[in-house]
Amino acid sequence: MRLLKYSLFLLFLAACNAPQAVYDYDQQVNFSQYSTYALFPEFQSGLSQLDESRLIESLHNKMQAKGFSKSEDPGIYVNVYTERFEQDNRSRVGVGIGGGGGNVGVGVSGGIPVGQMDTYLKLSFDFIDVEKDALVWQAVVESPFNINAEPQERQERFDKIVEKALAGYPPEK
C-alpha cells in the first residue's frame, strides 16, 4: 500500500513537470504528401543563440525520426516562435490570528509566498506549405524551463518539448 502511495505521488510530480501541447491543423490537407522540410527562411525563435541551436538540433532529430528529410526544395517550412513567461509557484506559508469570547469568534489569515516565480516557455511550431504559402499544422507547447539549468539539461528539455510537439503529427482525421 505504501509503495502505491509513493508511486502515485511520483506520477503526479512527473505529470506536473511534463510539457503540455495543443494541436491544430487544416482538415483539407493530405499530410502524406509532405516528406521534405526546411527551416523557415526568416527563422527567429526568440531564444538565445545557444538555446536556439539546441532547439534546432532537437527539431532536426525528431523530424528525421518522423521520416522527413531536410531539403533545399522542401514541401513544408518549419517555424518556431517562443514566449517566456513566469507564473506564481503557489507555495505559501499560512499565517493567521484569531480570537473570541463567548459565542463570537473573529479571525484573519493570509499566505506569504515562498520561493520565486516558475519560468515557463511557450513554443509555437508552425508547418507552412511552401507551394501554397499557408499554415497547415500547428502545435503549441508549454513547458516549465529552468533558466539556470546546465547545457545538457537544457538539451534534454528541448528534446522533450519537440517530442511532445511532433507527437500530434500527422494529425488523425
Domain extent listing, the chain: 25-87+117-173
Q: What is the pLDDT along the chain (173 residues), one digit of tens a residue?
A: 554 454 444 444 444 567 889 999 999 999 999 999 999 999 999 999 999 999 999 999 999 999 999 999 999 999 999 998 776 666 666 666 777 777 777 776 666 666 566 788 999 999 999 999 999 999 999 999 888 899 999 999 999 999 999 999 998 86
CATH 3.30.160.670 fits 25-87+117-173, yes or no: yes
Tell how strand 36-39 and strand 76-87 pair up: parallel
- pTM beyond cutoff 0.85: no
The answer to whether the beta carbons of residues 161 and 125 sit under 8 Å apart is no
Q: Which residues contact 55 (CB under 8 A, 6 or more apart)?
A: 45, 47, 80, 123, 158, 161, 162
